[in-house]
Every structure is written in C-alpha cells, then in structure tokens.
C-alpha cells in the first residue's frame, strides 16, 4: 500500500519535473529575448534621441507651431518620441518572448497581437501627425482670420484644429478596425457639425470682409466716407 | 537733406564718370499701362537726354517661370500682350533685375535702368535724375525716392527706412523703390554674387540689391523722381505686403549679419532732385479700423507674439490696447518690436511666413498712431518725426545685436 502510494507520488512528481524541464528552455529563451529587447530598447532610445537632436526636431516643431515652447515639467517632443520608440521595442520584445516561450495559448495570443501591431503603429502615426498638424493649421487660420478682422478668429482657429483632429482620429480608428459603420456615421455627423459651426462663425463675423471683397471685385461706385482705407503701404 | 548737383549740372551730353557704353532701360510689364508703348517713349527720352549714347529700352516680361527682356515691337506683337511679372521687388528667376544685369553685361552698357510703365512726373526730369548719376556722375547705384502723401508708403516710413538705415548706416529714404539705375561695374559685381547660387529665391529682389550694395560699400546715391507713379491696381492687403517685403529684408539681415553688427550710427547719401511730401489728393485714411485691428490682434495673437516678444513688450502692448482709442507705440518700443521680429525670423521661432503675417496688427496699430500724430503737422515737421523714429532705431541697435547673438535670452 505504502509502496503503491509512494510510486504514484514519485511518478506524478516526475511528470511535474518533466513538464517543468520542458518549460525551462522556453523560459530561458523568453528571458533572453526580454533581456535582448531591453538592451535594444536602450540602444533605440539613444539613437532616436541623437537623430532628433541632429534634426533639431524640437525647434522645427516649435517653428511649425506643432509643439508648445519648452516649459518646466513638460517633456519635449524628442523625449516623447524616444519614449514611444523605447516602449514599442519593449512591447514587441515581450510579444516575441511569449512566442518563443512556446506555450500554445500564449503563442497564439502573441501571434495575433503581432499581426495587429503594424495597424496599431500606422494608426498611432496618423493620429500623431494629425494632432501635430492641427496645431499648425490652427495657428495659420487664427493669424489669417485676425488679419481679415474677424472677431471670431479664435473660434475659427479652434474649429479648424478640431476638424483636423477629428479627421485624423477617424482615420486612425479605421486603421485599427474599430467602429465600422458607426464610426463613419459618427464622423460624418461630427465633421458636418464643425463645418456648420465654422460657417456660422464666418457668416456672422465676416460680413464686413465679404462686403469689402465684393466691393474690390465689383468697384461700381465709390461712396463718400467708405469704411475702408485706400493706403498703398509700400 | 544734402543734395549734390549732377556732373555737368545735369545738362544733356555729359559723359563724365563712365566710358562710352550705351544706356539700357528695362520697363517692367505689370498690370496697367502698356509697357511696350512706355518702352518706345522712354527710349526716345533717353536718346534725347543722353545724346551720343546708344539708348535701348526693352520690356521685362515673364516667359515661363523666368523674367526675360524683349524688344517693344516683339512685346506688342504678343497676342495677349507681354506676360506680366510677379509682384514688384521680389527675387528669384521672375525678378527682372537678373535679366537686366545679364543683358547689360552682354551689351557692355554703361548704365542700366529698371523702371515701371506707369506715367512719371515729367516736371522732375525723372529719367535724367535716375540715370544721370550713373552716366554722368560715376555712381554705381541710384535709389529712387518719390514725393508721396504723408500717409502713404508707411511700411517704408515705419520699418524699411529706419531698419535699413540703422543696419547699414546709409540714409536711403525709400530703399525699396522698385525702380533703380546701376553701373556696368556694379552689374558685373552683382552677377558674380554668391546669392544667385545660395539663395536664388531672394537674389534679384530690391532688398537683396540694396543690402548687397550698401554692405559692399559701393557708391550709392538717391534721386527724387517727383510725384510717385501711382499704380492703377488697388492697394494690396497690408498683411501680404508685409510678408512680401519684410521676408527678403529679414533674410538679407541674416546674410549680412557680420557686417551690420560693426556699423554704428548713419550718414547721408548724395541726393539729387527735390524731395518733400505731396499735399494734393490725399488717400482716404480711417484710423478706427487700424486701431481696432491692433486691439483684435492683441487679444487673439498674444500667444504667437509671446514666442518672439519679451514679456515687458507684451505688457506694454496690453496696456496700449486697453488705453485710449488710438494706440501710440513709442519709438523705442516700436524699434524693439521690429528687431524682435527680425530675430524671431532669423531664429525661426515661428514658421517664417506666419511670423511675418502675425506682425500685421502691430504694424496697423503703429500706422494708426503715426497717421493721427502727423495728420496736422507741417511737411517739415513730418520729416522731423520720421527722423526721430530713425534715431530711435539707431539707439536700439545695441538691443538688436544682443538679441541676435542670444536669441533665446529674454
């Protein structure tokens, strides 16, 4: 009886150890991949920082109105780009590690996630470019509207910015495969709403500008005391 | 203003100063009067004014993306007339100056002139005044100046003249006149300038010509050509004018930074003709829209201005906007604002075109104050007022130099 129990226990223990022994190479390989990805992430971070410095990314983005001026406690664009690259490499390393581990479920999950990575990256890039571009668009529209004498210049700039952000967001979500038809409908409604709001803002704020523009185009008669200046500035 | 008589008292036939080469004049094709007819008229006038010199007048028009010089008959034969050039005073391949320099060099012309087709003030002997200093006086460059109403050409009065004078130390009253006359020697020097290769978009512009000549110490003078030949086209939007004019001026500042930082004060240049203000037919100027544009800009564009203007200037602008109905920007404040924008342009603190466009409300605010202040002054007092503005620019030049060397330090 004791012998039978002992044998059964030892056999199950042996099975456990065999199973563990089968896992060890996969575990070691996964740890190796993770360690390699950490090193690679550090290298990528260094390279990205150097490239950003060489390209004067922070200054250029400030010039284009994409990034705000440097302030205490606020990370610069090049730091953000380096962080993004680092975490992307670490995440990819983790997924590859899971695949190497050779656990069936984990491997299938990692494979699906890896297939999704390019879409996620493209979506992120679209969103980042959209957000960055929206600030440049906002500044351009704001300055143009002020120079046209529109009282609602700030609103116009903000509207133009959100138009770009919404467009970029919709494109990014489509890339991620999120939303489907609902997304297209929601985007259409939101986009149309913003355009309508901008049209109203322009219509209400730019009556004088439109009148001046028409007057320039059709200079039929000149009335005394017109509300425009006749100056040649140069 | 110091005035120098023309060699030979401005009489026709003088040949002092240059060899026996001819006189070449290019008439710019712009929307307005027929340049071919103007070229024929000008050629006859030049021949009469400088007998013994071969006189040639050609039409500067656009062929594709380039400015070319064609004979008046050829220009007149074109089905829709000569193709007009881009906006006056610009650089690049569309600049007529490059075509004129090359043609003048090829012909060995003693003097070259670039003029507009608009009717000029014949009572002022404008062609003699423009070309005479080169043909008869041995000058390299003649910069024209015109009699204008006190409220016109305010971009020149408020920025271009004081800035050019403070930078290069020469008192050219209207540095970007559009028209000009040059000697063959200067033309050949200019053709060899590295700017044509390094910055082809800017080379050939008015600002490039004046900055290159003044920084190289060539013999420059100015000539009053009478009343300003007012173009038939409607005035351009001020923001577009600012961007078009100040972009090349600021770029030239960058190109010649090592030279203008060594110049202190200013000196008059030899001047021909009689200057002054035009009093008849003043343009309509309403001050309230200008002041309102300033207030709107102060309200909306302060975050953009904050990228190039120091906090003390922003505070002063806030006070001005909240103050009386017409903003009065003090001369030192205005000089510093212009210098700060020049530094911002150089340091690319903001995208360059956006930066120049964002200066518009400030400029209109300055114009409002200037027009209100000078509208009741006598002509001499207006000139004194401009002189005091220029002196403020000269005094504040140290500030410019310090900001130029440390653009981020404010």
Tokens of A130: 């959209």
Which chain B residue shows the shortest CA-CA distance from A141?
Answer: B354
Set of chain B residues whose Cβ sits within 8 Å of the Cβ of A137 = none
Specify the residue for token string 């403070």. B166
Q: How far apart are CA B31 and CA B231, in angstroms?
A: 9
- Per-residue pLDDT at A223: 46
The answer to whether A143 contacts B348, with C-beta atoms less than 8 Å apart, is no
Q: How far apart are CA A72 and CA B306, in angstroms?
A: 17
Specify the residue for token string 């050219």. B172
User: Which of A65, A151, A153 lies nearest to residue B354, judging by beta carbons?
Assistant: A65
- Per-residue pLDDT at B23: 93
Contacts of A136 (CB under 8 A, 6+ apart): A64, A65, A66, B351
Interface of B with A in 200-259 (CB under 8 A): 230-231, 234-239, 241-242, 245
Residue B149 to chain A, least CA–CA distance (Å): 10
Considering only residues A11 and B75, tell me which one the structure prediction assigns the higher pLDDT: A11
Q: How far apart are CA A197 and CA A159, in angstroms?
A: 8
Residue A122 to chain B, least CA–CA distance (Å): 27
Set of chain A residues whose Cβ sits within 8 Å of the Cβ of B237 = 147
- Per-residue pLDDT at A210: 65
Task: Tally Cβ neighbours within 10 Å of residue B207.
Answer: 25
The answer to whether B354 contacts A216, with C-beta atoms less than 8 Å apart, is no
- Mean pLDDT for chain A overall: 81
- Per-residue pLDDT at B157: 94
**Cα–Cα nearest to B145, from B244, B225, B263, B256:** B225
pLDDT digits (tens, 9 = 90+) for A110-165: 777 777 888 888 888 899 889 888 988 999 999 999 999 888 888 889 989 988 99
DSSP summary character for residue B277: B
- Per-residue pLDDT at A60: 81
Residue A99 to chain B, least CA–CA distance (Å): 47
> Residues A23-28: what's their mean pLDDT?
83
Set of chain B residues whose Cβ sits within 8 Å of the Cβ of A147 = 237-239, 293, 357, 360-361
Q: How far apart are CA A202 and CA B399, in angstroms?
A: 41
Residue B56, helix vs strand vs coil: strand
User: CB contact, 8 Å: B356 with chain A?
Assistant: no
The answer to whether A142 contacts B301, with C-beta atoms less than 8 Å apart, is yes
The answer to whether B238 contacts A233, with C-beta atoms less than 8 Å apart, is yes
Q: Which ipTM was obtained for this model?
A: 0.84
Cβ(B360)–Cβ(B238) under 8 Å? yes
The answer to whether B283 contacts A230, with C-beta atoms less than 8 Å apart, is yes
Strands B66-70 and B170-171: unpaired
Residue B246 to chain A, least CA–CA distance (Å): 11
Residue A119 to chain B, least CA–CA distance (Å): 32
Task: Tally Cβ neighbours within 10 Å of residue A8.
Answer: 10
The answer to whether B245 contacts A234, with C-beta atoms less than 8 Å apart, is yes
Backbone angles phi, psi at B153, to 5 degrees: 65, 35
User: CB contact, 8 Å: B300 with chain A?
Assistant: yes
- Per-residue pLDDT at B74: 82
Residue B307 to chain A, least CA–CA distance (Å): 8
pLDDT value at A108 more than 80: no
The answer to whether B241 contacts A233, with C-beta atoms less than 8 Å apart, is yes
User: CB contact, 8 Å: B350 with chain A?
Assistant: yes
- Per-residue pLDDT at B10: 36
pLDDT value at A67 more than 80: no
| Beta bridge mates, B171 | B268
- Per-residue pLDDT at B279: 76
DSSP summary character for residue B116: E
Set of chain A residues whose Cβ sits within 8 Å of the Cβ of B155 = 233-234
The answer to whether B361 contacts A228, with C-beta atoms less than 8 Å apart, is no
**Cα–Cα nearest to B297, from A159, A134, A62, A142:** A142
Set of chain B residues whose Cβ sits within 8 Å of the Cβ of A226 = 284
Residue B139, helix vs strand vs coil: coil
User: CB contact, 8 Å: B349 with chain A?
Assistant: yes
User: Which of B283, B289, B301 lies nearest to residue A227, judging by beta carbons?
Assistant: B289
The answer to whether A232 contacts B230, with C-beta atoms less than 8 Å apart, is yes
The answer to whether A147 contacts B360, with C-beta atoms less than 8 Å apart, is yes
The answer to whether B349 contacts A146, with C-beta atoms less than 8 Å apart, is no
- Per-residue pLDDT at B5: 43
User: CB contact, 8 Å: A228 with chain B?
Assistant: yes
- Per-residue pLDDT at B249: 94
CA torsion sign for B83, B89, B95, B98 is: positive
pLDDT digits (tens, 9 = 90+) for A181-232: 777 787 788 878 877 877 777 676 666 666 666 665 565 544 444 445 667 8
- Per-residue pLDDT at B19: 56
Task: Tally Cβ neighbours within 10 Å of residue A199.
Answer: 11
The answer to whether A229 contacts B350, with C-beta atoms less than 8 Å apart, is no
User: Which of B89, B176, B351 lies nearest to residue A64, judging by beta carbons?
Assistant: B351
DSSP summary character for residue B8: G
Q: List, run by run, the mean pLDDT of 10-residue segments along chain B (410 residues).
A: 41 45 89 88 92 91 84 75 66 83 92 92 88 92 92 92 95 90 93 86 89 89 90 83 93 93 93 84 83 94 93 94 90 96 92 94 95 88 94 96 86
**Cα–Cα nearest to B361, from B331, B390, B387, B337:** B337
């Amino acid at each position: 009886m004791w012998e039978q129990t002992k044998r059964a226990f030892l056999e199950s223990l042996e099975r456990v150890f065999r199973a563990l022994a089968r896992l060890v190479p996969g575990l070691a390989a996964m740890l190796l991949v993770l360690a390699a990805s950490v090193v690679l992430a550090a290298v990528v971070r260094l390279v990205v920082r150097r490239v950003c410095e060489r390209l004067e990314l922070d200054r250029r983005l400030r010039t284009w109105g994409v990034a705000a001026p440097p302030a205490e406690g606020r990370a610069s664009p090049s730091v953000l780009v380096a962080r993004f690259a680092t975490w992307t490499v670490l995440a990819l390393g983790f997924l590859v590690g899971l695949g190497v581990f050779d656990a069936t479920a984990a491997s299938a999950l990692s494979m699906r996630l890896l297939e999704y990575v390019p879409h996620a990256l493209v979506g992120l890039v679209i969103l980042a470019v959209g957000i960055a571009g929206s600030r440049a668009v906002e500044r351009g529209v704001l300055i143009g509207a002020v120079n046209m004498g529109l009282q609602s210049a700030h609103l116009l700039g903000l509207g133009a910015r959100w138009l770009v952000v919404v467009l970029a967001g919709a494109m990014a979500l489509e890339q991620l495969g999120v939303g489907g038809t609902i997304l297209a409908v929601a985007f259409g409604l939101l986009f149309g709403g913003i355009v309508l709001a901008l049209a109203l803002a322009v219509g209400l704020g730019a009556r004088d500008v439109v009148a001046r523009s028409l007057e320039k185009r059709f200079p039929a008669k000149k009335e005394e005391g017109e509300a425009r200046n006749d100056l040649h500035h140069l | 203003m110091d005035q120098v008589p023309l060699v030979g008292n401005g009489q026709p036939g003088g040949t002092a100063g240059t060899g026996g080469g001819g006189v070449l004049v290019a008439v710019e094709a712009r929307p307005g009067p027929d340049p071919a007819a103007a070229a024929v008229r000008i050629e006859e006038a030049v021949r009469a004014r400088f007998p013994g010199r071969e006189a040639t007048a050609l039409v500067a028009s656009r062929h594709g993306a380039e400015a070319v010089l064609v004979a008046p008959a050829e220009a007149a034969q074109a089905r829709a007339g000569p193709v007009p050039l881009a906006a006056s005073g610009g650089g690049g391949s569309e600049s007529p100056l490059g075509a004129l320099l090359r043609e003048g060099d090829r012909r060995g012309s003693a003097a070259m002139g670039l003029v507009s087709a608009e009717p000029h003030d014949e009572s002022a002997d404008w062609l003699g005044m423009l070309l005479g200093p080169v043909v008869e006086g041995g000058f390299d460059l003649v910069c024209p100046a015109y009699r204008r109403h006190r409220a016109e050409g305010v971009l020149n009065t408020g920025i271009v003249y004081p800035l050019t004078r403070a930078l290069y130390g020469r008192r050219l009253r209207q540095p970007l006149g559009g028209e000009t006359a040059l000697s063959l020697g200067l033309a050949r020097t200019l053709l060899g300038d590295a700017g044509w290769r390094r910055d082809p978009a800017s080379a050939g512009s008015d600002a490039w010509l004046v900055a290159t000549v003044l920084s190289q110490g060539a013999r420059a003078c100015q000539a009053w050509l009478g009343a300003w030949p007012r173009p038939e086209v409607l005035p351009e939007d001020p923001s577009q004018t600012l961007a078009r004019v100040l972009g090349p001026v600021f770029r030239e500042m960058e190109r010649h930074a090592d030279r203008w930082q060594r110049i202190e004060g200013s000196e008059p240049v030899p001047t021909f003709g009689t200057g002054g203000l035009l009093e008849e037919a003043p343009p309509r100027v309403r001050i309230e829209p200008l002041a309102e544009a300033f207030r709107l800009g102060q309200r909306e564009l302060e975050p953009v201005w904050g990228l190039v203007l120091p906090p003390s200037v922003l505070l002063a602008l806030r006070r001005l906007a909240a103050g009386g109905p017409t903003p009065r920007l003090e001369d030192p404040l205005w000089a510093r604002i212009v210098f700060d924008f020049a530094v911002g342009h150089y340091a690319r603190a903001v995208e360059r075109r956006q930066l120049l466009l964002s200066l518009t409300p400030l400029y209109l605010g300055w114009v409002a104050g200037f027009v209100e202040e000078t509208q009741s002054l006598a002509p001499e007092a207006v000139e004194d007022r401009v002189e005091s503005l220029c002196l403020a620019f000269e005094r504040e030049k140290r500030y410019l130099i310090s900001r130029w060397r440390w653009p981020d330090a404010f």
